[in-house]
Amino acid sequence: MNHSISILSPTAILGYGFPESSFEAGLARNPDAIAVDAGSTDPGPYYLGSGESFTNREAVKRDLTLMIKAGLEREIPVLIGTAGGSGARPHLQWCLEVIDEVLCDLNRNARVAEIASDQDQDSVINALHAGRISALGPVPQLTEEAITNSTYIVAQMGVEPVIDALEQGAQIVVTGRCYDPAVFAAVPIRAGLSEALSLHMGKILECAAIAAVPGSGSDCMLGVVDASGFTLEALSSERRCTVTSVAAHTLYEKTDPRFLPGPGGVLDLTACHFEQLDERRVRVTGTQLQKSERYTIKLEGSQPAGFRTISIAGIRAPDLIEQLDAVLLAVRERVFTNFQSIDQADVQLLFRVYGKNGVMGELEPCREQLPHEVGLVIEVVAKTQSLADTVCSFARSTLLHFGYPGRQSTAGNLAFPYSPSDISHGVVYEFSVYHLMTVDDPLSPFPIQIKVRGVT
């Protein structure tokens, strides 16, 4: 078993960029692998449903060029998790096309493993009927309708398929939807080091220098794991890891800060110890892994929910701002009175009032403060784009000249920063599958293909 394994994480998301100076500092420490997370559900369901990437292609190519060049020169693997942002088939192919371009530009070839995570609808329906699917958190129980309406359904793989690809000699591993820490943990786990420590380190490395001070999603981090713990180091001279920054990153994004569930088990963080080694490095020990009796993987799916049109405006009249809730309610009533033939089940009319409660909505605690101006987003989601356009247009024009008690100005109530004022947004997606599926084998849902790509 190797004494220690070091992993270089260049950036929080592939395509977010990183300074070459930080990357070179990481390479100078002779890492055993370069790993990066390329996706997330954070940008919402649109990207999974549409098959589009939320990162820019040229930015992704720039990052991959530096990573692949360094990996091939040093003969260390390059691992990419959740390709293309959401990890469905079109995202995976999009990322592989970028890799092909990079290899050709470098005049190199490489053994590239692609690990698909797509789950066909029939298999998911069979698992549902077999009682192998359960809700994840406060979501409805899964239905056949939700499965069949989903454009793509992906499963979140653990470390096992990534390790299998490395065992088969892959120099570059590109995965579909992947448990975020998996591509960082696979190399040390394959080397025989602690699963618990490797996964915990991966949990932090997947966000790169966000766990440093000052935090950044566009800078590099190095993790070194050994038999008793792991050490984290920010690689920019402008940043440093602290006990607080590393511990805070360990605790976030969890319903219970003590436990981090993932494929095959739960990380128990209750006995973790964080130690400041020097100004720039923190060491972590004490992480435990509770193996699950059943191996479960998370399913994610997205389905069309309608078509969206928005209109953005500003309001600065204090008399209107003071009674804006009542005015918006009256505008809503007038819209649906004017279009009585419209089934309200086919239309959502939303008013987002920024500067008042646009972020927190009904949960906003500061309701007594009267802002001097607000930003208003009129949003309509409807069964068709034409219907969304119609309702948004009427809501906007109604509010523009709506008469309210005490109105001082006879001009329009809204200030529009854009012309045209209404923007047709296209198809809207919503998450339709967000559930756990029990599997007998952590490898079987994730087929691996390895081939030489690039210059031959």
Residue for token pair 């002779």: 30
Q: Say what the pLDDT of residue 369 is.
A: 83
> Could you tell me if 347 and 231 lie in one domain?
no
Q: Say what the pLDDT of residue 254 is.
A: 80
Q: Say what the pLDDT of residue 409 is.
A: 77
- Is residue 45 domain-resident? yes
Given a cut of 90, whether residue 456 has pLDDT beyond it is no
Task: Read off the pTM.
Answer: 0.93
Q: Say what the pLDDT of residue 252 is.
A: 81
> Could you tell me if 254 and 368 lie in one domain?
no
Q: Say what the pLDDT of residue 393 is.
A: 97
29 HSE (CA, 13 A, CB side)? 24
Tell me the pLDDT tens digit for each residue of 106-121: 999 999 999 999 999 9
- Is residue 424 domain-resident? no
Domain range for 340 is 317-414
Strands 221-226 and 230-234: antiparallel
Count of beta carbons in the 10 Å neighbourhood of residue 161: 26
Tell me the pLDDT tens digit for each residue of 6-43: 999 999 999 999 999 999 999 999 999 999 999 999 99
66 HSE (CA, 13 A, CB side)? 24
Strands 448-454 and 347-354: unpaired
> Could you tell me if 280 and 341 lie in one domain?
no
> Could you tell me if 119 and 265 lie in one domain?
yes
Tell me the pLDDT tens digit for each residue of 292-338: 999 999 999 999 999 999 999 999 999 999 999 999 999 999 999 99
| 111-150 core/surface letters (b: 16 or more CB in 10 A; e: else) | bbbbbbbbbeeeebbebbeeebbeebeeeeebeeebbebb
Count of beta carbons in the 10 Å neighbourhood of residue 38: 28
Count of beta carbons in the 10 Å neighbourhood of residue 335: 21
> Could you tell me if 106 and 249 lie in one domain?
yes
> Could you tell me if 199 and 346 lie in one domain?
no
- Is residue 159 domain-resident? yes
Contact call for residues 167 and 76 (beta carbons, < 8 A): no
Q: Say what the pLDDT of residue 368 is.
A: 80
Write the CA distances from 279 to 38, 85, 213, 240, 410, integer angstroms. Answer: 30, 34, 11, 7, 63
Contact call for residues 308 and 388 (beta carbons, < 8 A): yes
Write the CA distances from 304 to 136, 330, 345, 444, integer angstroms. Answer: 21, 30, 15, 29
What is the average pLDDT score of the chain?
95
**Quick one: average pLDDT of 421-440?**
97
Q: Say what the pLDDT of residue 197 is.
A: 98
- Is residue 136 domain-resident? yes
Q: Say what the pLDDT of residue 127 is.
A: 97
Given a cut of 90, whether residue 394 has pLDDT beyond it is yes
Radius of gyration in angstroms for the set of CA atoms belonging to the chain, rounded to a whole number: 25
> Could you tell me if 65 and 188 lie in one domain?
yes
Number of domains in the chain: 2
Given a cut of 50, whether residue 1 has pLDDT beyond it is no
Tell me the pLDDT tens digit for each residue of 65-77: 999 999 999 999 9
- Is residue 420 domain-resident? no
Q: Looking at the DSSP assignment, which residues form a beta bridge with residue 265?
A: 262, 291
Given a cut of 60, whether residue 59 has pLDDT beyond it is yes
> Could you tell me if 46 and 158 lie in one domain?
yes
Q: What is the dihedral of CA 104, 107, 111, 115, to 10 degrees?
A: -20
> Could you tell me if 116 and 245 lie in one domain?
yes
The sheet carrying 265-268 orders its strands as 259-262, 265-268, 288-291
> Could you tell me if 296 and 329 lie in one domain?
no
- Is residue 421 domain-resident? no
Cα–Cα distance, 95 to 82 (Å, whole number):
10
- Of 54, 45, 51, 90, nearest in space to 429 by CA: 45
> Could you tell me if 224 and 347 lie in one domain?
no
Cα–Cα distance, 296 to 440 (Å, whole number):
9
- Is residue 57 domain-resident? yes
Lowest-confidence pick of 18-27, 232-241, 254-263: 254-263
Contact call for residues 418 and 71 (beta carbons, < 8 A): no
Q: What is the dihedral of CA 343, 344, 345, 349, to 10 degrees?
A: 140
> Could you tell me if 282 and 364 lie in one domain?
no
Q: How sure is the predictor about 126, in pLDDT bands with cuts at 50, 70 and 90?
A: very high
**Quick one: average pLDDT of 424-446?**
97
- Is residue 427 domain-resident? no
Q: Say which amino acid occupies 103.
A: L
Q: What percent of the chain has pLDDT over 70?
A: 100
